[in-house]
């Protein structure tokens, strides 16, 4: 769900990559990770089985600066495509502001594409959202495969509404950033129409993002292209993207929400010196306010070590402390004040009371914690004195 901090003119939006199993959602997110400069994104978190199938979700935070005078934080999620993970898909879809539907262009995948699209429609409807009014773009993925269906056929079957669609090859990255730009633009338009995002301040020229090419445009396309280090219309040629290295090491921590930044908008990389050379920050610690940084690290460390019970306990502890920033009140009321789903917090509590836990329980706990950090951030909490 979007959240807006009017003081900082910052908007946080959630975009979900949806589609059948193996259509290329995780590969797409990895490509976005590789393409966007490290200062503008966090670490990607993937929770996968040994066979590299997405078990719970993938998550990648990306920051786009000064889009019409607003900073946009994108929280990008993928869902597991396999039919039997529908409960997880519903959870990840909760509060989404837009969807990129990643369809597999191979003829034998058409039934799976249709089924997944119908499942998206149904799951959105359960949240009271109608797909035909929802920001949506399509990736026609795996265009490199020779037997790929013609785009016209895919359109007729899956995109009668004629929303923006893109031929993509997630492995090489072709088209992937174009689809991301398009959905971001649609989401911002939608939020403006709903008056959730303020209109641009006419008198203030949009500021270029750090490291942006001199004289580059200030529109979203230009901004995203600058992040990607590419011209607005260019798509990544296979050879160029293949040469990109996945950078390792700590990322910048989340920045205070309520401090308007006149010139430079990128959070300074403030990884504690003691962490240098150690495990890179995970997404929970990347989002954590400094007061809860150690808790988030502990939860991620336990997750990585396969100690799911400890991970869940650490998440619950950090959740309680995080919710307490909303003021003295029962847990449910604190959750309500922060617009955190109380049902999720209750489920986390019940998981912590269990004697044994599975990997997806721990993943859920991290997910709840990340939602709380995102909410705290949007609310400008905890306030810094
Ligand atoms: N040929 C080809 N293979 C792809 C493309 N995108 C993804 N794949 C492959 O498809 C498989 C499933 O991709 P994955 O991203 O895990 O699918 P997900 O289940 O939607 O997350 C992997 O083996 C990928 O390497 C593409 O554009 N072209
Ligand atoms: Mg996946």
pLDDT given for residue 92 in this prediction:
82
pLDDT given for residue 258 in this prediction:
26
On whether the CB atoms of residues 138 and 149 are closer than 8 A, the answer is no
Probe target for ligand 1 pocket from 58, 170, 177, 236, with the most ligand atoms within 8 Å of CB = 170
Number of domains comprising the chain:
2
In angstroms, the CA 225 to CA 275 distance is 32
Probe target for ligand 1 pocket from 23, 27, 92, with the most ligand atoms within 8 Å of CB = 27
Whole-structure pTM over 0.85, yes or no?
Answer: no
CA-closest candidate to residue 223, choices 239, 203, 245, 208: 208
95-132: pLDDT as tens digits: 899 999 999 999 999 999 999 999 999 999 998 999 99
- Cα-only R_g, the chain: 20
pLDDT < 50: residue spans in the chain: 203-277, 385
- Ligand 1 interacting residues, C-beta cut-off 6 A: 19, 21-27, 54, 78, 81, 102, 141-142, 144-145, 169-171
How close is the Cα of 354 to the center of ligand 2, in Å?
28
Task: Assess whether 217 and 311 both reside in one domain.
Answer: no
Which H/E stretch holds residue 351? helix 342-352
Look at the chain and count its residues. Answer: 385
In angstroms, the CA 203 to CA 126 distance is 42
Is 261 within a domain?
Answer: no
On whether the CB atoms of residues 178 and 141 are closer than 8 A, the answer is no
pLDDT given for residue 145 in this prediction:
98
pLDDT given for residue 6 in this prediction:
54
Ligand nearest to the backbone CA of 52: 1
Is 262 within a domain?
Answer: no
Is 270 within a domain?
Answer: no
Report which protein residue has its CA nearest ligand 1's atom 3.
142
Is 87 within a domain?
Answer: yes
pLDDT given for residue 229 in this prediction:
43
Task: Assess whether 57 and 195 both reside in one domain.
Answer: yes
Task: Assess whether 228 and 314 both reside in one domain.
Answer: no
How close is the Cα of 114 to the center of ligand 1, in Å?
18
Instruction: List, as ranges, residues with CB under 5 A of the ion ligand 2.
Output: 25-26, 54
Task: Assess whether 311 and 360 both reside in one domain.
Answer: yes
pLDDT given for residue 341 in this prediction:
86
Task: Assess whether 309 and 165 both reside in one domain.
Answer: no
pLDDT given for residue 8 in this prediction:
55
Nearest atom (ligand 1) to Cα of 172: 27
Nearest atom (ligand 1) to Cα of 145: 1
Task: Assess whether 143 and 231 both reside in one domain.
Answer: yes
pLDDT given for residue 148 in this prediction:
98
CATH of the domain at 308: 1.20.120
Is 256 within a domain?
Answer: no
The boundaries of the domain holding residue 172 are 3-242
Task: Assess whether 89 and 181 both reside in one domain.
Answer: yes
On whether the CB atoms of residues 112 and 104 are closer than 8 A, the answer is yes
Task: Assess whether 336 and 201 both reside in one domain.
Answer: no
pLDDT given for residue 123 in this prediction:
94
Which of these three, 220, 242, 264, is where a domain ends? 242
196-218: pLDDT as tens digits: 666 665 543 333 232 223 233 33
In angstroms, the CA 346 to CA 359 distance is 18
Is 321 within a domain?
Answer: yes
Task: Assess whether 159 and 296 both reside in one domain.
Answer: no
């Amino acid at each position: 769900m979007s959240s807006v901090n009017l003081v900082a003119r910052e908007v946080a939006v959630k975009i979900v990559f949806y589609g059948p199993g193996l259509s290329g959602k995780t590969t797409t997110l990895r490509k976005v990770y590789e393409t966007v400069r490290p200062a503008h994104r966090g670490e990607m978190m993937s929770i996968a089985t040994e066979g590299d199938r997405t078990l719970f979700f993938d998550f990648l935070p990306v920051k786009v600066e000064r889009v019409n005078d607003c900073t946009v934080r994108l929280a990008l999620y993928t869902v597991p495509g396999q039919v039997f993970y529908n409960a997880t898909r519903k959870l990840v879809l909760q509060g989404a502001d837009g969807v990129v539907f990643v369809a597999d262009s191979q003829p034998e995948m058409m039934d799976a594409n249709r089924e997944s699209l119908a499942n998206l429609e149904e799951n959105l409807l359960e949240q009271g959202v109608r797909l035909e009014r929802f920001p949506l773009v399509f990736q026609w993925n795996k265009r490199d495969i020779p037997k790929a269906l013609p785009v016209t056929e895919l359109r007729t079957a899956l995109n009668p509404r004629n929303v923006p669609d893109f031929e993509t090859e997630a492995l090489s990255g072709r088209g992937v950033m174009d689809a991301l730009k398009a959905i971001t633009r649609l989401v911002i338009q939608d939020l403006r129409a709903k008056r959730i995002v303020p209109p641009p301040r006419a008198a203030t020229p949009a500021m270029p993002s750090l490291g942006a090419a001199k004289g580059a445009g200030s529109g979203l396309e230009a901004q995203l292209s600058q992040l990607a280090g590419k011209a607005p219309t260019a798509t990544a040629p296979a050879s160029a993207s293949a040469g990109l290295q996945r950078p390792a090491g700590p990322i910048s921590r989340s920045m205070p929400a309520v401090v308007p930044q006149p010139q430079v908008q990128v959070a300074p990389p403030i990884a504690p010196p003691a962490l240098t050379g150690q495990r890179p920050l995970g997404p929970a610690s990347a989002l954590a306010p400094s007061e809860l940084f150690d808790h988030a690290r502990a939860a991620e460390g336990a997750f990585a070590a396969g100690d799911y019970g400890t991970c869940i306990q650490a998440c619950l502890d950090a959740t309680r402390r995080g919710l307490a920033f909303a003021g003295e009140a029962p847990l449910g009321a604190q959750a309500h004040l922060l617009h955190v789903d109380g049902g999720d917090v209750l489920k986390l509590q019940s998981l912590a009371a269990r004697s044994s836990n599975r990997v997806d329980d721990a993943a859920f706990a991290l997910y709840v914690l990340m939602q709380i950090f995102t909410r705290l951030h949007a609310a400008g909490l905890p306030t810094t004195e």
